[in-house]
Structures are given as C-alpha cells and as structure tokens.
Amino acid sequence: MLVWGSKKRPGSPAPDKRKAGRAADALSALGFLEHLQGTGRLEPISADRARAALATQTSLPIVLTELGLLSEADLIEALSAYTGLPAVDADDLPAEPVLPEQLPGDYCRRARVLAVKGGPPVCLALVDPFQADLTGALAYGLGGADFRLIGPSQFEAALRRLFGEDGAEALDDGAEGGLGSDTERLEDAARQAPIIRLAQSLLRTAFELGASDIHIEPGETDLTARFRVDGVLVRPETLPKSVHAGLSTRIKILAELNIAERRLPQDGRMKVVDRGREVDVRVSVLPTAHGEGLVLRLLGQSRKEGGTDALGFSPALSARIRAMADRPNGIFLITGPTGSGKTTTLYTLLQGLNTTATKIVTVEDPVEYRMSGITQVQTHAAIGLDFAAALRSILRQDPDIVMVGEIRDGETARIAVQAALTGHLVLSTLHTNSAAAAVTRLVDMGVEPYLLAAVLNGVVAQRLLRLLCTDCRQIGPASLAERVVLERARPALKGAGPIALAHPVGCPACNGTGYRGRTVVAEGLEIDRAVSAMIAAERPEREIETAACERGMQTLLDNGIDKALALETSLEEVLRHLGGGDAL
C-alpha cells in the first residue's frame, strides 16, 4: 500500500508536501503510456492519440477512457500495477459524504478526489494518481492520507449520489464520442452541460459491462437506467426525473431524430467510440405514460470471429450447418425468438461465403454489421422499400447469394422461393420456436408445400444461454429433482452413477450474477429426400421432427442438457429457456 504523508504527531515537524509528492511525480503520465505500450495494452497508434490529446488536456485516465482507448476495468488494473495503489472496493464507498467541510463536493469534482473513510489516515480515492502537487497538498493538509484508485465513471456515480447533480457536474476533460478529432471532442465536451456527461456515463457503463442494450425508463417520480447483459437486465440505476427531458433530447440529437416530436415513436442511429473502435448504436424512442422511454442497442457487441464453432455450436452441428449453407442454391433458414443471435449466426456464415468470386447482396432492417465485399441494402418502409420490393430489385443485380434479414410476409416468402428456384442461394430468418415449425410457418404464409420441399436446404433453430462464471461456479452432485428432470429428458441416465452439475454463485468478475458470456444451443433440420417427401405430403411438424431425430438431429433441449452436463451452464438456465423443468 502506498501512502504519501503521515499523520502529524505532537512535537513532530510538519510534513514536507514536496517530499510527499515525489513518488507520484516519479510515476508520470507519459511513463504510464510507455508502460501500457510495453505490456501490450495499448497499440502505438493509440498511444500517439493519447499523447496528442494530452497536449491540451491534463488527465491521462480521462483521456484513455473517454477516447475509448482503454476500458475502465483495464485502466484500473494497469494503474494499480504501475503505481502500486489498490483500487477502491465498491463496497467501501461511503453512504454519506466524508469530511464535507474540508472536501466539499465542488472541490472533489475539480480535483477528481473522493474521501472514502475518515482517518487517521484519511482514505482518498483518486481518478488521476499523476497529480503530485494535489496528492502532496492533501497529505499535508489532512495530516496524512492513504490513497486508492477509482474509475472515472465510478467516481461520477459516487459524486452524484453523495453530493447531488451539482457535485457531479462532470469531469473536466470528458469527450463526446464520434465527433471531430480526439482533442476537439475533449475540448467540446469540457464545455458541455452535465447532461452530456450523464449520456456518456451510461454508454461507458454499457461498454464496461459488455451490455447489448441500454434501457432508459421514465417513472412517475424518477428515471431508471438498466443494462441488458447476457440477455438479462441488470444494474438498475435510479436517476432524478429532472434529467429525463435533457437526456432524451441529447440522445435524439445524436441519433438525428426530431427533438420536437414527443407523441410518436421514432427510430434512429448514432456512432460512439469504444476502446478505439466505432460502434453503431440503434436508438428507439417510445412515448409512455410518464414520458419518452428509450432503448439503445449497441450493435456488434457480441459479434465473434472464427466461424460457427466460436459461437458455441457443436463440431457436428457446425459441419452440418456449413454443408446446408454451402449449397449453390436453395433456402437456408435460422429461426428463433428475438434476441436469440440469428443475425450473428447469419453473418458468421456470410463471412465464410464471402469471396471475390461470389456476389452477395443483403436486405436488412436495420443493417447491423457492416461487411466489406458485400452489398448491403437498408429497407425504408415509409417510401415503399420493404423486404419484398428490395428483394425483387436485388434479383436484377445478378447476385449469387441473397441474405434477407427476415421473412415477415407471404410476398417476401414467395419471392425468396422463386429466387431459390432460379439458382440463387437465399439465407434468411424466421420467428419460430423449432426448426420443424419453420415448414408450417412458410406454408401458412402461402408457399406451396411442393415448392418448399424443392428449395428448402435446411433450418437451424437456436437460443442463447448464459455461461456460468468459471471463477465462482459451484460444482456438485445433481439433486433428486434435477435427476428426475435429466432422466425424463435423457432416459439413458437412469441408473447411472452420480451426475455432476454446476450452479451460479456470483463474484466481482461476473458482477454478482454467477454468469459471464453466452453460448448457443441449437437444432439443425437437414432436408434430405425423406424429409422433403414429408413436406410435400404436408405431414405435421411433429412427424417431421421425429423423422429428423431418427436421422441424427439433436433437439434444442438435448443440446442444452449436453451443455449443462459439460458444466458450461446450469440446468436452471437450460430449463428457463427450453422448458421441461416441471419437477424443479
């Protein structure tokens, strides 16, 4: 633990504030940048951006996080290793201001320092440990100080909670994502109102958590912000209702929406910077009884490289999926509810199909992932450019592969079938609960069964399950109730020896949820001659599913149980998404 200064004892000489600051002075901001480069945390080009921003700004930690060059968690870890200072524990943050007479809110804001615990010595949390004069003066003025590190967004949230909006009037060196050069963004944001910082703070928190969505929900007396992480809403943050209008307006401005319109839903897009890369954010505004509710979807946050294996598909199913999607023509479908990762799977397949010899055209609403080498079309229903209209025009562009974001109606379905019949490969999604149900859904849309049997290559139904945190999961024998469920779903387990299962616990690494990351569970219906004949004969989907299972298809529930038995996820998580847990 590094302590500058010590408590002054009677009769002892006054602490030398110059000496108290020497340790901090030796650990310079530029030296920290070199440390980040040397440890591989920062690319040389990112370090150069930070140095350029430091020419007009003074706080390196603020520059690194606000420009998206380093996540807050990585920043604190690196600062701790470099300075020897420990990070403040969230549980140690005070419920009431500490030493408010000596360290009032406005001073704390300007100095980026927060008193965590009274002395002796006083425990102080610093955003920027490279302020030698400040640390020396604090150690001298308080008769000794024990310093800790605190992240910029954690500091802002604590200051707002302890001193209200006046005390949380932002950090002086903030940056506004996506506008102008790095230094311009920092300078512009430094002159903006606190509401700008609040919007940035919410986005920073979302990036730190790896969230896919930010939900801003107005109530009668307050405003709640929640973050969807691994498919579950977490970390509710209560904000004063007074910031609602300003926050809504700020987001609408960035998303190029009509700020005067508060009666109708609106949809828009904006770009923000996270760790040096631009991230598309889709914005949805919905009028509610207590004001406008907003949902910000951070597109591409969960995208992975490395093919379907990297998404969590089993090797056998990955091979089957590639075989179905590699055919020169026909229709290949991904099905599942909203938020089940269908678009991510489609784009992973497109990455493998994207070659210089192949023309790929997509029609989407919205275009979620930008990919070079692929022609992407955004629908605009207001001007008549819906999926069906776009698809008709796309076929005149001589494509080899067409990706339709979603088959929503009979007209789109019929055009997709015609495209497959004329030699194109069509990839798309449907909202159905199983692979076999996609056949019934398309027939209900008006596709003739004999045509569907002729063009359908295969269907994959999928869900996303949370992965157990490997730092805290608890492994033990299955309970009696769990064995009943497992044996009912998997009769081969009857009479087997002890069955090990893992359960969530919760730790700092997983934000106390017990889960960290997600994996896919899926079933793949490959259309062979027998299944094709059943489709043409309009056999019920249950019979089609049974026939497919006899030919080796693993159902969603079976795939989920495999992952539970492999200790990747919990049985509770499997049953929550896939059912079959009445005994629990």
385 plus 444 within the same structural domain? yes
pLDDT in tens, 384-421: 888 888 899 999 999 999 999 899 999 999 999 999 99
Rounded to an integer, what distance in angstroms lies between the CA atom of residue 424 and that of residue 391? 12
**pLDDT confidence of residue 200:** 84
SS3 state of residue 24: helix
pLDDT value, residue 265: 92
Q: From the CA atom positions of the chain, what is the Rg in Å? A: 28
d(CA 365, CA 448): 27
- CATH, residue 244: 3.30.450.90
> Does residue 238 sit in the same domain as residue 373?
no
- % of the chain surpassing 70 pLDDT: 87
Asked whether residue 92 is assigned to any structural domain, the reply reads yes
Same domain, yes or no, for 143 and 204?
A: no
- DSSP sequence for 123-153: EEEES-TT-HHHHHHHHHHTT-EEEEE--HH
pLDDT at position 276 = 66
Cβ atoms within 10 A of the Cβ of 583, count? 14
The string of DSSP codes covering 443-462 is HHTT--HHHHHHHEEEEEEE
Where is pLDDT greater, at 302 or 211? Answer: 211
Phi, psi (rounded to 5 degrees) for 378 = -95, 130
Among candidate residues 239, 273, 299, the one where a domain is terminated: 299
Q: Max alpha carbon distance in the chain (Å)?
A: 100
Q: What is the pLDDT, as a whole number, of residue 25?
A: 40
Measure the CA–CA gap between 295 and 315, rounded to whole angstroms. Answer: 36
pLDDT of residue 259: 80
Question: Do 99 and 153 have their domain in common?
Answer: yes
In a domain, 3, yes or no: no
Confidence check: pLDDT of 437 > 50: yes
DSSP-derived secondary structure letter, 68:
T
Which residue type does 256 have?
A: E
Taking 50 as the threshold, does the pLDDT of residue 7 lie above it? no
Residue type, 73: A
User: For residues 501 and 491, what is the distance between their CA atoms, to the nearest angstrom?
Assistant: 17
Mean pLDDT, range 97-123, rounded to an integer: 84
pLDDT value, residue 524: 95
Mean pLDDT of 545-563: 93
Domain count, the chain: 3
pLDDT value of position 332: 97
Mean pLDDT, range 349-376, rounded to an integer? 88
For residues 243 and 263, state if they share a domain.
yes
Q: Are residues 462 and 329 in the same domain?
A: yes
Closest among 258, 240, 241 to 249, alpha carbons compared: 258
At 534 the pLDDT is 96
Average pLDDT of the residues in 36-63: 79
Residue 204 CA from chain centroid, whole number: 11
Say if residue 201 is in the same domain as residue 313: no
Q: What is the pLDDT of residue 165?
A: 56
316 with 450, same domain?
yes
Q: Work out the average pLDDT over 464-468.
A: 94
pLDDT digits (tens, 9 = 90+) for 318-342: 999 999 988 999 999 999 998 898 9
**Domain harbouring 155, CATH code:** 3.30.300.160
461 and 527 assigned to the same domain: yes
Strand, helix or coil for residue 463: strand
Same domain assignment for residues 320 and 198? no
Q: Which of 163, 195, 224 is the last residue of a domain?
A: 163
Token pair 């509401």 is found at 195
DSSP codes joined into one string, 346-361 = HHHHHHHH--TT--EE
> In the predicted model, is pLDDT for residue 29 greater than 70?
yes
d(CA 121, CA 209): 33
For residue range 115-169, list pLDDT tens digits in order. 888 877 888 999 888 877 778 778 777 888 889 999 888 888 888 888 875 444 4
Given a contact cutoff of 8 angstroms between Cβ atoms, the answer to whether 109 and 169 are in contact is: yes
Task: Give per-residue burial for 53-91: e unless 16+ CB within 10 Å, then b.
Answer: bbeebebbbbbbbbbbbbbbebbbebbeebbebebbeee
Amino acid in the structure at residue 412: T
Considering the domain architecture, whether residues 40 and 117 belong to the same structural domain is answered as: yes
- Judgement on whether residues 278 and 403 belong to the same structural domain of the protein: no
> Backbone phi, then psi, for 435, in 5-degree steps?
-65, -45
Label residue 305 by pLDDT band (50, 70, 90). Answer: low
Q: Is 232 helix (H, G, I), strand (E, B) or coil?
A: strand
CA distances from 389 to 18, 226, 395, 445 (A): 73, 37, 10, 17
Q: What is the pTM of this model?
A: 0.65
Of 85, 105, 87, 89, the C-alpha closest to 4 is 85
**Residue with more model confidence, 348 or 300:** 348
The last residue of a domain, from among 163, 196, 216? 163
pLDDT for position 381: 76
pLDDT in tens, 220-259: 888 999 999 988 898 888 888 878 888 888 888 888 888 8
Mean pLDDT of 35-60: 79
Q: Is 51 inside a domain boundary?
A: yes
The predicted pLDDT at position 412 comes to 92
Domain of 114 in residue numbering reads as: 29-163
Compute the mean pLDDT over every residue in the chain, rounded to the nearest whole number: 83
Q: Are the C-beta atoms of residues 435 and 412 closer than 8 Å to each other?
A: no
Angle of helix 182-190 versus helix 194-209 axis, rounded to 10: 130
- Cα–Cα distances in angstroms (integers) from residue 319 to residues 89, 279, 425, 539, in the given order: 46, 31, 18, 27
The DSSP bridge pattern shows strands 145-149 and 213-218 to be unpaired
529-536 vs 541-550: helix axis angle to the nearest 10? Answer: 170
